[in-house]
Amino acid sequence: MVSVAHSPPPIRHRAPAAPSRHSPAVPLLAAAWAGGIAVFALWWHDTGSVVGAAGWLNGAGRITGLLCGYMCALLVALMARVPWLERGVGSDRTARWHASAGRWTVGLLLGHLVLITLGYAAQARVGPVREFLTIVLDLPEMLKGTLGAAILLAVGFVSARAVRRRMRYETWYYLHLLTYAAVFLAFWHQLALGADFVGSAAARAAWYVLYGGTAALVLWFRVLVPVRLNLRHRLRVEAVVREAPGVHSVWLRGRDLDRLGAQPGQFLRWRFLTQGMWGASHPYSLSAVPRDDLLRITVKTLGDHSAAVASLGRGTRVWAEGPYGALTAGRRRRRKVLLLAGGTGITPLRTLFETLRAAPGELTLFYRARTAEELALRQEVEAIAARRGARLVYALNAPDGTRTPITADGLRWTLPDIAEHDVFLCGPPGLTDAAYDALRAAGVPASRIHHESFEL
Provide the 3-class DSSP secondary structure of residue 15: coil
Average pLDDT, integer, range 235-257? 93
Average pLDDT over residues 251-264: 92
Quick check: pTM over 0.75?
Answer: yes
Q: With residue 295 as reference, give the H or E element that holds it.
A: strand 294-300
Which SS3 state, helix, strand or coil, does residue 57 take?
helix
At residue 95, the pLDDT reads 80
**157-162 mean pLDDT:** 81
**C-alpha of 125 from chain center:** 47
Is pLDDT of 162 > 60?
yes
Q: Looking at per-residue confidence, does 228 or 343 come out higher?
A: 228
What pLDDT is recorded for position 454? Answer: 55
What pLDDT shows up at residue 220? 94
Q: How does DSSP classify residue 160?
A: S
Give 174's contacts (C-beta < 8 A, 6+ positions apart). Answer: 279, 280
- Residue 320: burial class (beta carbons within 10 Å; 0-12, 13-18, 19+): buried
State the average pLDDT over residues 357-371: 91
Asked if the model's pLDDT at residue 355 lies above 70, the reply is yes
Q: Distance between CA atoms of 103 and 76, rounded to whole angstroms?
A: 13
Which one has a higher pLDDT value, 234 or 306? 234
Residue 252 main-chain phi, psi, to 5 deg: -125, 125
Contacts of 260 (CB under 8 A, 6+ apart): 229, 233, 290, 295, 323
Specify the pLDDT at position 5: 41
Q: How many CB atoms lie within 10 A of CB 254?
A: 22
- Averaged pLDDT for residues 85-107: 83
- Identify the sign of the CA torsion 333, 339, 343, 346: positive
Q: Is the pLDDT at 456 greater than 70, yes or no?
A: no
pLDDT at 453: 63
CA 286 – CA 267 distance, rounded (Å): 6
Of the pLDDT bands very low, low, confident and very high (cuts 50, 70, 90), residue 200 is: confident
The pLDDT score that the predictor gives to residue 108 is: 94
Of the listed ranges 47-51, 105-109, 141-145, 312-316, the one predicted with least confidence? 47-51
Tens digits of residue pLDDT in 374-422 = 888 999 999 999 999 999 999 888 887 778 788 899 899 989 999 999 9
Tens digit of pLDDT for each residue in 262-281?
Answer: 999 999 999 999 887 887 78
Structure confidence at residue 258 (pLDDT): 87
Mean pLDDT over residues 110-124, rounded? 92
Separation of alpha carbons 416 and 442, rounded Å: 9
Residue of 374 and 70 predicted with greater confidence: 70
The fraction of the chain above a pLDDT of 70, given in percent, is 94
Closest of 111, 178, 186, 113 to residue 147, by C-alpha: 186
- Which residues, in sequence order, are bridge partners of residue 67? none
Whole-Å CA distances, 17 to 137, 291, 425, 440: 47, 31, 11, 12
CA distance 438 to 423: 12
Return mean pLDDT, the chain.
86
* Chain mean position to CA 274: 26
Q: How far apart are CA 9 and CA 6, in angstroms?
A: 10
CB 47 within 8 A of CB 56: no
Distance CA 422, CA 338 (A): 6
